[in-house]
Amino acid sequence: MFKLSKKVQSLPPYLFLEIDKAKRLARAEGRDIIDLGVGDPDQPTPRFIIDALNIAALDPANHHYALDQGMPALRNAISGWYKRRFNVDLNPDTEILPLIGSKEGIAHFPLAFLNPGDVSLIPDPCYPPYKGGTILAGGSPCIMPLLESNSFFPDLNKIPFTARRKAKIIFVNYPNNPTGACASDDFYKQLIEFAVKNKIIIVSDLAYSEMAYDGYKPRSLLEFNGAKDAVIEFHSLSKTYNMTGWRAGWACGNPQLISALAKVKSNLDSGIFSAIQLAAVAALVSLQEHIKSMCRLYQERRDILIDGLNSLGWKAVKPKATFYIWIKIPVKADSISFAARLLKEADIVATPGVGFGKYGEGYVRMALTVPKERIKVALERIKKIS
């Protein structure tokens, strides 16, 4: 009866919805499912953040519309966190914008700069909102393959001239979801030079900057010379502080880019609930001890899963960051069929690589979001069907 818009019709299917449907059906059958699919931390939000929310929620002053720009206290906390973490100075009034989670900011940003016929340069495989936001803004995605042979970096020299000429935005995400790859300094320097030369905006998704192992510390693009001429960077409290359901994040970087995103958002939402903003302040100004324990937890799980899979003949590599394991399928099968087999025969949920794009085919992604005891059970189940 009702016809969808051409933009919505052109959106790729959101794979995680299909995964959730399959999980629900399996659980309805009474099966003991081990969910290594969608990356949602299994640990609770730290108590001190919850306490800060409770106090703020009881204050009637926080029961009104929030400022579109976010509370000064939150913008100042973000600026301080950025200085301590990356030694980058950010003006809290012009270079920071709080978001209802980084996903909404990333998806809305193309609305500020893309016109019909304009192009976004998008890595593949990738986090789906890069493509979805581009399509909904009326732009065209141009795919940059992330190949294992190139350490899962896009080859900027292979971007077609016509796409480069029409491109307004290039998306990058390191540490990377889904591959777990981490950016080198040389790649970041090359990227900034490429973007400035071609007058292209860099959208840097840095949601996993604090989830790193073996002494590795991911860098911000804004640490590099010339970055503020071209970069808007997105962060999230979701994974860092186990706050996925709270919906709190921010964008920072070039003031013109921040202002443009703020203009879009002022027409679409009314800001983050003030009590959640004050809880975010508590998270950002804390001693960050939670992050250290979080990284130890995920590193232990990573080692158990990777070592176990490799003992079964898989060829899995330990990532230096994120809580994802990107694994080449060990048998002759496409990723959807292989993930379906894991669910059907082993009651394990894994994400088919093709759900992140054409160049994700041949891989599955597993998330380290279940206790180590459950990971060991998963390995035993995989052993039985191998």
Hey, what domains does the chain have and what are their CATH numbers?
6-43+289-385 (3.90.1150.10), 47-285 (3.40.640.10)
pLDDT reported for residue 350: 95
pLDDT reported for residue 385: 87
Coil, helix or strand at residue 16: helix
CB–CB of 254/231 below 8 Å?
yes
Token output for 188: 């970041």
Instruction: Find tokens 């016509």 and name the residue.
Output: 162
Q: Which residues in the chain come in under a pLDDT of 70?
A: 15
pLDDT reported for residue 329: 94
* Sequence letter at residue 61: A
pLDDT reported for residue 24: 86
pLDDT reported for residue 146: 98
pLDDT reported for residue 26: 80
pLDDT reported for residue 25: 85
pLDDT reported for residue 27: 86
Helices (H), the chain: 6-9, 15-28, 47-57, 72-86, 102-108, 129-136, 161-166, 185-198, 255-266, 274-285, 289-311, 335-346, 372-385
pLDDT reported for residue 38: 80
CB–CB of 205/172 below 8 Å?
yes
Total-model pTM: 0.94
CB–CB of 315/328 below 8 Å?
yes
Coil, helix or strand at residue 352: strand
CA neighbours closer than 13 Å in the CB half-sphere of residue 33:
21
